[in-house]
Structure 1
């Protein structure tokens, strides 16, 4: 019996060579899958088990998804000794070398990088015109806050004029015994409520009235022209009625608005002889005795 090339005779007696080949391929496939999984871009993971995650929080994260492609950066100088740069991304890693880093702090003095909050411990809630994004699980404090882990809170306020702008640090609360935090803010139109497109009662009445007037004019015009056979201005429906109404309105306006009295007697003017007609010679004949 011939043995495949490269297969030791002693090994082939116990295990066929194709068994080693299949095992090698399986290991390579597993390693490739793990490598692809590591290279995939990480997203926000809400606090708690996936089965118990809030649908409301999931909807808010989906609403903020357009911001995930934008990188935010802010330089902050608290005093001459403390100068930092803060880098932030929405549900994406800021630096792949720092696992799950959603917001990091860089000390400009020694270039030390500190993770302020991680995307695998995310919370999110909202109000009428704002969204609060919280990253927990940052690097531990040293001598502050009993060494608890850092936490970043990003207040996203409504601004319909921009998709994302104004990222800044409001305050860093680190003098407490616990629940210390970094508070940031930014503006985005994604935090705005949907615009109310409902029409008011007045608008509905106005649209209805205008529609009825248009139907009346067009329908009456067609009737007068095609059925009655009217021409010119008489094609306008009820032309005589509207004409009389216009005259009455003009008379009323003239009566109310004219300053000249309507019943002022005419000025006296003398009558000359040339304005008198010839008198009849027989005008007194009936007065003579018979």
Structure 2
């Protein structure tokens, strides 16, 4: 029963990871093992929506970001992964699309880039917009703090929108390695537990012991202190201990009364 449930969970996790790779299409001919591993790390954030508002002078924009998913829930999808909405005019602009995804990482960050957005109107060489989302390590949250940092648009090409957010998926994977000493201690503790529990059950149900007699090898453990003391005495003493003859002075009080000798029988009759 438990094995079947475990298999179902593993299959579900595999499906989620596959969906992330399928929705986020990397802009490369061959998916490297590093990129595939990074997309799998983003699986817990799949389809989650993040929003932030950015004020630029008199202009105000709301940005909606979905990791490896579509922002608009419409039947006709434009692969929009990050959308800009002008709060005054309600005009929407696709900043980045999930079918043009780039992903790299460092020690405690993941940089997710969506390209192929709508083209600029009059600057940046009319190139397509691009969104860069810096996901920084934060072990206290799955995904939070999505904010707009800046729009780099004062150049002729390679313009981009820069965002940042916090997530535990960007944290380095901590691998626990047990030392040889720790393994030996665990094995020893398990063996002691098996010895005590097994011996207790044997003494109780097979031998029929009661009280302290149920403890396995109770006689040996009672004599253990004396055995340890004898062993220390044998190992630690450099010379055998000689028993000195005790000398005790004899006092007058220890002398018994001697019978009085009478010499009357020596006198002539």
Partner of 1:76: 54
Aligned residues: 220
Q: 1:288 to 1:217 in 2, by over 3 A?
A: farther
SS of the aligned residue for 1:118 comes to: strand
Cα deviation, residue 150, structure 1: 1.7
Is 1:167 aligned to 2:146, yes or no? yes
Partner of 1:90: 67
Query: 1:133-148 counterparts in 2 under 5 A?
Result: 133-148=112-127
Alpha-carbon separation, structure 2, partners of 1:164 and 1:229: 60
Q: Give yes or no for contact 2:53–2:148 (8 Å, CA) kept in 1.
A: no
Higher CA-based Rg? 1
Partner of 2:242: none
Q: 1:98 to 1:108 in 2, by over 3 A?
A: farther
Return 5+ residue gaps in structure 1 as ranges. Answer: 1-41, 253-276
236-245 vs 202-211, which moves further: 236-245
Query: 1:1-290 counterparts in 2 under 5 A?
Result: 43-48=23-28, 52-56=29-33, 57-58=35-36, 60-61=38-39, 63-79=41-57, 81-95=58-72, 99-192=78-171, 194=173, 196=175, 198-218=177-197, 233=212, 236-246=215-225, 282-283=257-258, 285=260
Return 5+ residue gaps in structure 2 as ranges. Answer: 1-21, 233-252
Q: 1:172 to 1:239 in 2, by over 3 A?
A: same
Alpha-carbon separation, structure 1, partners of 2:179 and 2:210: 41
Q: Give yes or no for contact 2:47–2:68 (8 Å, CA) kept in 1.
A: no
Q: 1:225 to 1:111 in 2, by over 3 A?
A: closer
Cα deviation, residue 212, structure 1: 2.5
Cα deviation, residue 104, structure 1: 1.9
SS of the aligned residue for 1:242 comes to: helix
Deviations, residues 57-93 of structure 1 (Å, cap 9, x unaligned): 35544553553433221111233x2321111222333
Alpha-carbon separation, structure 2, partners of 1:287 and 1:142: 152
Q: 1:227 to 1:44 in 2, by over 3 A?
A: closer
Tell me the TM-score normalised to structure 2 length.
0.61
Deviations, residues 130-179 of structure 1 (Å, cap 9, x unaligned): 33221112233345433332210112334454443221112322234432
Deviations, residues 233-289 of structure 1 (Å, cap 9, x unaligned): 455455444334446889x9xxxxxxxxxxxxxxxxxxxxxxxx9x98x55846999
Tell me the TM-score normalised to structure 1 length.
0.57
